[in-house]
Amino acid sequence: MFCSEEIRIVEQDNAWNIEVVWLAAKEPPPPLLIDSMFSSFVELGRRGTGQALFPERIAFRREPLHPAMYEAYFQCPIDFGADRDVMRYRHEALEQPFYTYNPDLLALLEPQLEATLHASVAPQRFIDQVKSLLRSRLAGQQPTVHAIASELHMSARTLQRRLADEGMHFQQVVETVRRELARQYLTGSSLELNEIAFLLGYEEASSFHRAFRHWEGTSPGQWRAAQH
């Protein structure tokens, strides 16, 4: 599913060296693979910061080949015949923030992602597998029973039967996940109520308000205020 690479970032002389190491490889990686990785880092920096963040220098293990082409693309000196494939960035370049960075949303989602990761490596009840999939797919939409069943490589009928064996049906699980996430978002973030409605898969904020009042007997805003 994934490459077995390790991305190493080492600070040295007020600069950062970025090296990609393939732990399972017994031979040097193909030059084309290194090129694609390094160019993806440049593109990530451009898209993330909105600036052209080029490296200060690049070292390749390969013998010299089209040096002018590489220097034109990466906008920096290129050293060939090195002992490692390394990109070197000025310290200031890697300190540039992504313009989409949202610390509140990150603080909110990181525990949820960590919990999902830990749950994925531990034995799970079937209902927990369904809830985990729902949590990761609710934003902006409500996943259907057919979509979740497809993710689990089974029919919708089989999914419903297995949930019934644990005393639940699909829509109950959806509502349980929404309620859990709603409480988490309201207590652990400063997100607006319409943003929370979107993250819970509601097309309209009013639908979220009605559902929350059914769960808690009060509005989301009043419930949030009562927690502080």
Mind giving me the DSSP string for 155-216?
A: -HHHHHHHHHHTT--HHHHHHHHHHHHHHHHHHH----HHHHHHHTT-SSHHHHHHHHHHHH
* Residues 163 and 71 occupy one common structural domain: no
* Residues 19 and 77 occupy one common structural domain: yes
Structural domain for 17, as ranges: 5-94
Quote the number of domains for the chain: 2
* Residues 109 and 202 occupy one common structural domain: yes
> Which of 91, 69, 94 has its CA nearest to residue 80?
69
Per-residue pLDDT of the chain (228 residues; tens, 9 = 90+): 355 578 888 888 888 999 988 776 678 888 888 999 899 999 988 888 888 889 999 999 999 889 999 999 999 999 999 998 999 999 888 888 887 777 777 777 777 677 666 655 555 789 999 998 898 888 778 889 999 999 899 999 999 999 999 999 999 999 999 999 999 999 888 888 998 998 898 988 999 999 999 999 999 999 999 987
* Residues 130 and 42 occupy one common structural domain: no
